[in-house]
Structure 1
Amino acid sequence: MASDATSSAHNSSRAPEPVGLYPHARRAGNLLFLSGVGPRQRGEKQVPGVELDTAGRIVAYDFERQCHAVFQNVRYILEEAGARWEDLVDVTVYLTNMRNDFPTYNRLYAQYFQSNQPCRTTVEVNCLPTPIAIELKCIAVIS
């Protein structure tokens, strides 16, 4: 964990290991910026609910299961960095299949964010670095 007077990196012991050289989150003043968070589970390479063919391409996936896993991973990172779910102020959502998955995502998002409603942007991307269908990029304010 690097630290100085204005910025500090945070890594969660419960969220999945980053797939590159970056922290789970970085605090700058009272803002906490989360790196992209996917549904993988700590210590596991297989993505919850994802079925791959022998070439590693996605054959089928349980999008709802991935959503729940992503939200749990975000919560882990927030908590271990000293923030709460209610501290989220901005969420950027990356989906690999907007047409099929957005209705499910929107329904689950409404359940998770009933009392706290951060700003949100949702975009479709061609693919993500691992065989996942969703990734979140979040900003929280720590008081």
Structure 2
Amino acid sequence: FLSGIGPRQVGSKEIPGITFDANRKVIAYDIKVQTAAVIASVKRILEDAGSSLDRVIDIQVFLTNMKDDFPGYNEVYNAAFKDIRPTRTTVEVGALPTPIAVEFKVIARP
């Protein structure tokens, strides 16, 4: 069981796919890059625990902008899980911790 997996790079404060202004305010983000980073983190965590993406059975996804971000997120998600097809729920939320646009909660078999 994994919860709160966002796109932040492990061991760093860097968040792939985000452009900040001089005051560290988000001025743009790329949902495809953020989604790919989340999936890469999920894969690494599962493999470190002796599991893998193909053992995922359920995913809950939280997006901060469903209307604009769903198509790009869904494209990256479908490419990563094209042969697996776990159950999935995707919901829009008002905000996520730190300036991220996507977060996963994952259940996988050991």
Q: TM-score range by the shorter chain?
A: over 0.9
Alignment of 1:79 onto 2:9: no
* RMSD, matched Cα: 1.2
Alignment of 1:139 onto 2:107: yes
Once the two structures are superposed, residues 65-102 of structure 1 have per-residue CA deviations (whole angstroms, 9 ceiling, x without a partner) of 11111000000110001101100000000001101100
The residue aligned with 1:111 is: 79
Distance 2:47 2:101 in 1: 24
Greater RCO structure (CA 8 Å; 6+ sep) = 2
Distance 1:108 1:114 in 2: 10
Deviation at 1:108, TM superposition (A): 1.4
TM superposition score normalised by structure 2: 0.93
The residue aligned with 1:88 is: 56
More helix by share: 2
TM superposition score normalised by structure 1: 0.73
Larger Rg: 1
- One-letter identity of the residue aligned with 2:92: E
The residue aligned with 1:66 is: 34
Once the two structures are superposed, residues 42-66 of structure 1 have per-residue CA deviations (whole angstroms, 9 ceiling, x without a partner) of 1221211212345543210111111
Please list every run of 5 or more consecutive structure 1 residues that lacks an aligned counterpart in the other structure. Answer: 1-32
Alignment of 1:40 onto 2:8: yes
The residue aligned with 1:125 is: 93
Distance 1:133 1:92 in 2: 14
Please list every run of 5 or more consecutive structure 2 residues that lacks an aligned counterpart in the other structure. Answer: none
